[in-house]
Structure 1
Amino acid sequence: MIKKLTVSLALSTLLFSAQAHAVETQYYYDGLEPANITTGYTLAKSIPNSSVIMKRTTNSNTSRYKAVGYISNKDGWAGRGIESMGTGFVIDDYTILTNAHVIDNKNGTKSNVSYVRFMMNRDGANIPYNFKIKDIVKIPYADLAVLHTYTKLSNYVRPLPLAPDWKIMSLKKGTPLYSVGYPYHGRDDYTQRYWNQAMFLAQSANKTELIMKDKFRAGASGSPLVDSNFNVYGVRTYSHKLYNVNDDKYGYVELAGAESLYGYSGAKVLQYSY
């Protein structure tokens, strides 16, 4: 069964006037199954909204979040030549991890690599690194993709390691996880970096997702969920409150979902990394 979800990417026209649009993905999200969404809602209600934080940060050459960057896709869901975007992060010498829907074209297949760039450590007009993409590999059965670069990224940044399975499965309700990404923040400018504190709620039933309480906003798709040691547990993927509007009760409690790097997904990401 494929469950479509309306997720959002930031779209910039060729005149660089940014506009936000919602698009449907082709991916299955276990966190949206009735039992999982009911569990997530109950758990999210039990944790105050004040415990999840999104605040402005800037780029830094000394922070481990230097490995996070802005992904520009000019062959995205809106059509070739129109920029859509998301977030991604470096996981080894030549590999970036993000959501597959960030690098999909209007047909739902991977975009032509010549139209995709990784602007590592970007903050607004400050773009210290702008890497070309060599190839893209979509992880089967997951909203995940790895992007390979021509440039050895570890010459410029310390990659973020993936958490082992036992760490992912040891997460407890209320455990904080952290992120940096490029979310909607009240203005149609998705180039600024924001830091987040999110709260883990539960594993989804089939263990493919982390059910989260998270101020996830459009544009943050593909950003990492890390612990205090910068081990990556999952990739932030969707929420019910993409533009600071409570469309339903799930948005009101900041219910969100992340692709987990447990088991199959994490193993496949490592298989396609180098």
Structure 2
Amino acid sequence: MRSITAKPGIFRPRWLAQPQALQLGMALLCLWLLVALLSPWIAPYDPIAQDAAATLLPPNLSHPFGTDNFGRDILSRVMWGARVDLQICLIGVIFPFIFGTLIGAFSGYLGGVVDTFIMRIIDVVLAFPFLVLMLSIIAILGPGLSSFYIAMALVGWVSYARLVRSQVLTLKHRDFILAARSLGYSHARILLVHLLPNALTSSLVFSMSDCVLVLLSGAAVSYLGLGVQPPVAEWGVMVAEGQSFITTAWWITTFPGLAIVALAMSFSLLADGLGDKLGERP
């Protein structure tokens, strides 16, 4: 009889600990990518086309996800919304990842006054709640996706900087770095060629988990009217538009809400599987 063992200190469903988590996460993410790429051809209706004769229809054969109060097909809007929300995840993560990785690497490698100064900036940013600080920046810049991306870049880099800095502080005293210094390699070469590639593992794993945070933040900002503006099909906007009909037309908010959960689950599985594969926990 096979024994069942659990990793100490980690409380999670046992199936998440299996190697299939990585494959399942990649499969779900690829499915969403296909939906986003092919939505102009596979979506049954125009996502912003209104039909006054088909308002608030429940799910049926013609409209599998029903219609909203403007007669727009929910299934088509969910498909087109995947394009916007995947874009939010990609752009909302890549800039904080690049900026935070470089800042953390320089901070950990140079040390001294530079490291102290950067860490104090990080402490100031972390002193404010993430969502409150992000909403404040968006309110100053004005609603829209551009403001959201700027806010994410200004707030989200600190997590990557701390992760990479901690890795660099450990790696810069390893034998291969000492050997590189003894060979007379420049600081730029040591940092960019030898240190940074070895310090990226934890940041790569964290970026997959960060996609979930960015997705939920983007949906929340759009729900509050500060992100994507109607009539663009975006899941957070769709949830906000359907909140007045939650008791009479549940499908308006349910299906975009389930789409948010499904995409977030794909990133979570990918992060968990990637963490197991690389020996890092997200």
Q: Is TM-score (shorter-chain normalized) higher than 0.5? A: no
Give TM-score, length-normalised by structure 1. 0.20
Normalising by structure 2, report the TM-score. 0.19
Higher RCO (CA < 8 A, seq sep 6+): 2
Larger radius of gyration: 2
